[in-house]
Amino acid sequence: MFFKFLRLEIKSFFRGSSLGVNVAMKILRFIGILYFMLCFAGAAFIIFYGTQEKMHQNPVKIVSKFLIAAWAIDLIIKYIWQEMPTQNIKPFLTLNISKKTLVNYLLSKTFLSALSWLNSLFFITFCGIALFNGYSFTGVLGWFIGVSLLFYLNNFINILFNDKEVVAIVVGCIFAVIGVLAYYNIVPVLSYSEKVFYNFFERPYFAVISIVLFLGLWKICYHHIRKVFYLDQGLEAKKTVGKTENIAFLNKYGAIGTFINNDIKMLRRNKLTKGILIGSFTFLFYGMLMFTSSIYKTPAMMMFMGLFVTGGFQFMFGQKVPAFDSSYYPLMMTLNVPYKEYLKAKWWLMNIVTAASIIVALGYVYFGWNVYLAFFAAGIYNIGVNSQFTLWSGAFNKAQIDLNAKEKRMGQKSSFNLKALLLLIPKMFLPMVVFAVMQHFFGIAAGVISVAVLGLIGFLLREKIFDIIVKHYKTEKYSTLEAFKNKD
CB-based burial label for 213 (10 Å; 0-12, 13-18, 19+): middle
Angstrom CA distances, 367 to 16, 287, 307, 363, 371, stand at 53, 10, 17, 9, 6
Note the pLDDT tens digit of each residue in 152-196.
Answer: 999 899 888 877 777 878 888 888 888 888 888 888 999 999 999
Per-residue pLDDT tens digits for 9-43? 666 655 554 444 456 566 767 787 888 889 888 99
- The residues near 287 (Cβ < 8 Å, ≥ 6 apart) are 305, 306, 309, 361, 364, 367, 371, 375
Question: Lowest-confidence range among 243-257, 261-275, 284-298, 374-388?
Answer: 243-257
> What percent of the chain shows pLDDT beyond 70?
79
Structural domain boundaries of the chain?
34-226, 257-485
pLDDT digits (tens, 9 = 90+) for 144-161: 999 999 999 998 998 888
Q: What is the pTM of this model?
A: 0.60
Is residue 319 within 8 Å of residue 390, measured between CB atoms?
A: yes
Q: What is the pLDDT confidence band of residue 456, given thresholds at 50, 70 and 90?
A: very high
Q: How far apart are CA 486 and CA 488, in angstroms?
A: 6
Identify the residue with better confidence: 106 or 240. Answer: 106
**What count of other Cβ atoms lies within 10 Å of the Cβ of residue 397?**
24
Amino acid identity, position 159: I
Closest CA to 62 of 53, 75, 71, 52: 52
Q: What is the mean pLDDT of residues 52-56?
A: 76
Which residue type occupies 250? L
- State the pLDDT confidence band at 54, using cuts at 50, 70 and 90: confident
Q: What is the pLDDT of residues 340-393, one digit of tens each?
A: 888 888 888 888 999 999 998 888 888 888 888 888 999 999 998 888 888 887
- Name the DSSP letter for residue 305: H
Burial of 403 (0-12, 13-18, 19+ CB in 10 A): middle
Helix (H, G, I), strand (E, B) or coil at 321: coil
